[in-house]
Structure 1
Amino acid sequence: MRLDQFVSQSTGMPRSEAQKLIRWGRVRADGKGITKPATHIGPQAVVTLDGAAISLPGAIYIMLHKPAGVVSATEDPAHRTVMDLIDHPHRHTLHVVGRLDKDTTGLLLVTNDGDWSHRLMSPKHHVPKTYLATLAEPLVEAAAEQLRAGVQLHGEKGLTKPAAVEILPACQARITLHEGKYHQVKRMFAAVGNRVEALHRERIGGLLLDPQLPVGKWRDVLITEIHLPPLESSLI
């Protein structure tokens, strides 16, 4: 790992600030003064800042109730991002697990564990994701059956994978997908002649959005929640 990356992740400061401290000679690795931020250090290196030992944080897992109007990114020059909602001492070490469209609300996960986020989002793992869609028109059973079997999306060659679809009152429907194509939920309902007016993600795998978590707020994900099994494939 680069020394500036280690200092940034250990302290929660931006990497640019960590680089300044290293150049100023305030960081030592295994007792040696190092002034080049790009210097690589080993996993067992003892790093100090102003004489005090620093170490990498453990794995961080965060659940955010994403509001509409913010983008799923760590930074954006023109828009407020989900990271602006997370006041965490190691915020600069975190990344967003997947993404939600700017106008989509609901469950969003943030972590510093790259392996975990890859397992959740990689298409080969088929982790299910459940959404509550508010539609322009009531969803009829024939259209729901099309969605369950797979539909042809505009610009795509094959059909979507089978989805679990539940018709709800008040022009709503709950849909569970095992893939993540661009704007997929909206495009699927468009393929059966309907339009999504609001979209809310409720679940990723076995991890459900905490119903007590207010919009725009976050909390740590419990270790017992992290290891929940995915939804059974029998739902599809």
Structure 2
Amino acid sequence: MRLDKFICKSTELTRTEAKKVLKSGEVRVNGDVAKNAAMQVHENNTVTIDGQQLTARGSRYYILHKVVDSICSNVDEGYPSVLNFIEVDKAFDLHIAGRLDADTTGLVLLTDDGRWSHNVISPKKQCQKTYRVWLRNAIDDDKLAVLVTKFAQGLQLQGEDSLTRPAILTRVAEEDLLDEQCYKSEVLLTITEGKYHQVKRMFAAVGNRVVGLHREQIGAIVLGDLAPGEWRALSPDEIALFS
């Protein structure tokens, strides 16, 4: 962990304040003065400020139901950051493990544990993400069967050198529809990578257009009945899924 981040997790200092303390020479790591904010420290290091030993707080893990017109960023840029919805101390020290576009709703994971979030988003981990997709053009059963095969084989997206990884496309069962009028145009898509605007580009590649997008699941973590804008801490079992 970066030294400035360790200080923030051990005190009430902001990242800016931590860097000022470092410059002052008050911080020591294993007895030696440390001024480099990017210095990596570990559990077995002794970090002190003015002789007081620091102990980092435990990492935090949350799930949020992202609403439309909010952004997965640590700053407000046109739209409010999703971090505004997390009512915890130092919410803006968290980061998003798997971003969503401003117009996309659904499951967002937030943490201050970099290793944990890496296990969520790293392409090597091939973590499944499931999206509910509303399409401009309805898909009949014959067309769906063709698309299921195409998505499973991989699609060539504009500007990409390689095909997308195999994806799972299914129709939403009638009893599970969020919009009863959308039986032929409401589908579920499960992917294991996160290219730029990937879901929208995949359907564009087969001549359709996404008009609504909602993430329901990451790995075995399910959004469930969490209402739009609501959040909760992940359970120990959920945290362990990516530890």
TM-score range, shorter chain: 0.7 to 0.9
CA contact (8 A) 2:96 2:109 kept: yes
CA contact (8 A) 1:104 1:200 kept: yes
Q: How far 1:178 moved relative to its partner? A: 1.4
CA–CA separation in structure 1 for the residues paired with 2:73 and 2:203: 26
Q: How far 1:47 moved relative to its partner? A: 3.3
Q: Deviations over 1:116-161 (max 9, x none)?
A: 1111111111111100001112223223332233222122233222
Q: 1:179 to 1:20 in 2, by over 3 A?
A: closer
Is 154-163 or 183-192 further displaced after alignment?
A: 154-163
Match of 2:137, as an amino acid?
A: E
Partner SS, residue 202 of structure 2: helix
Q: How far 1:36 moved relative to its partner? A: 5.3
CA–CA separation in structure 2 for the residues paired with 1:2 and 1:156: 34
Partner of 2:68: 68
CA–CA separation in structure 2 for the residues paired with 1:161 and 1:155: 15
CA–CA separation in structure 1 for the residues paired with 2:97 and 2:107: 10
Matches of residues 81-160 of structure 1 in structure 2 within 5 Å?
81-140=81-140, 141=144, 142-160=146-164
Partner SS, residue 84 of structure 1: helix
Partner of 1:45: 46
Among 169, 176, 197, which residue is 2:190 paired with?
176
Partner of 2:179: none
CA–CA separation in structure 1 for the residues paired with 2:29 and 2:156: 59
Q: How far 1:46 moved relative to its partner? A: 5.1
The number of residues matched between the two structures is 226
Q: 1:107 to 1:2 in 2, by over 3 A?
A: closer
Match of 1:137, as an amino acid?
A: N
CA–CA separation in structure 2 for the residues paired with 1:228 and 1:138: 36
Match of 2:9, as an amino acid?
A: Q
Partner SS, residue 16 of structure 2: helix
The root-mean-square deviation of aligned C-alpha atoms, in Å, is 3.0
Partner SS, residue 5 of structure 1: helix
> TM-score scaled by structure 1?
0.81
Matches of residues 12-23 of structure 1 in structure 2 within 5 Å?
12-20=12-20
Q: How far 1:55 moved relative to its partner? A: 2.1
Partner SS, residue 17 of structure 2: helix
Partner of 1:234: none
Match of 2:46, as an amino acid?
A: A
Q: How far 1:22 moved relative to its partner? A: 6.2
Unpaired runs of at least 5, structure 1: 230-236
> TM-score scaled by structure 2?
0.79
Among 186, 197, 211, which residue is 2:211 paired with?
197
CA–CA separation in structure 2 for the residues paired with 1:162 and 1:31: 49
CA–CA separation in structure 1 for the residues paired with 2:30 and 2:194: 48
Unpaired runs of at least 5, structure 2: 175-181
CA–CA separation in structure 2 for the residues paired with 1:12 and 1:118: 26
Match of 2:206, as an amino acid?
A: V
Q: Does 1:188 align with 2:164?
A: no
Q: Deviations over 1:17-49 (max 9, x none)?
A: 334566789x665898x7957496774325358
CA–CA separation in structure 1 for the residues paired with 2:166 and 2:232: 33
Among 229, 236, 241, which residue is 1:216 paired with?
229
Match of 1:186, as an amino acid?
A: K
